[in-house]
Amino acid sequence: MEKINTDNLEKALDSKEPAQPQISKAPQAYPEESSAKILTEGKEEIGFHKGALNTLANERNELFKMLQNVEGIMQAHLKRLEELGVKIGQK
């Protein structure tokens, strides 16, 4: 950036020279470091997805158990209704 002359602000602002942009070059990481970072991030993402799948599989198993319980209870009610002489049509 161009330095502004604080003593004479009008002269500094009316300067005919275009300001040259200063491009600061950040130190480049070694290729090994950038690939190591990518590998680490990739492993983290893989771990995230594996954990999510593990959790979802456990949830599905629990849901299946719940469905089995509901089905068993429904069958018991149907059986008792038949014993009482009520005929239930299958849907």
On whether residue 61 sits in a domain, the answer given is yes
pLDDT for the residue numbered 29:
52
Mean local confidence (pLDDT), 10-16: 60
On whether residue 15 sits in a domain, the answer given is no
**Ranked by mean pLDDT, which of 3-7, 39-43, 61-65 comes out on top?**
61-65
Concatenating the DSSP letter of every residue in 34-58 gives: HHHHHHHHHHHHHHHHHHHHHHHHH
On whether residue 22 sits in a domain, the answer given is no
pLDDT for the residue numbered 26:
54
On whether residue 90 sits in a domain, the answer given is no
CA–CA gap between residue 64 and residue 72 (Å, rounded): 12
On whether residue 9 sits in a domain, the answer given is no
On whether residue 66 sits in a domain, the answer given is yes
Name every residue whose Cβ is closer than 8 Å to that of residue 11 and which is 6 or more positions away in sequence: 5
Mean local confidence (pLDDT), 43-62: 95
On whether residue 8 sits in a domain, the answer given is no
- The more confidently predicted of residues 12 and 89 is 89
Domain enclosing residue 44, as ranges? 31-85
**Ranked by mean pLDDT, which of 9-18, 24-33, 60-69 comes out on top?**
60-69
Would the pLDDT of 69 be above 90? yes
CA–CA gap between residue 78 and residue 50 (Å, rounded): 42
pLDDT for the residue numbered 19:
55
Q: How many domains does the chain have?
A: 1
pLDDT for the residue numbered 12:
59
**60 to 32, 48, 50, 66, 67: CA distances (angstroms):** 41, 18, 15, 10, 10
On whether residue 71 sits in a domain, the answer given is yes
CA–CA gap between residue 26 and residue 41 (Å, rounded): 22
Mean local confidence (pLDDT), 4-32: 57
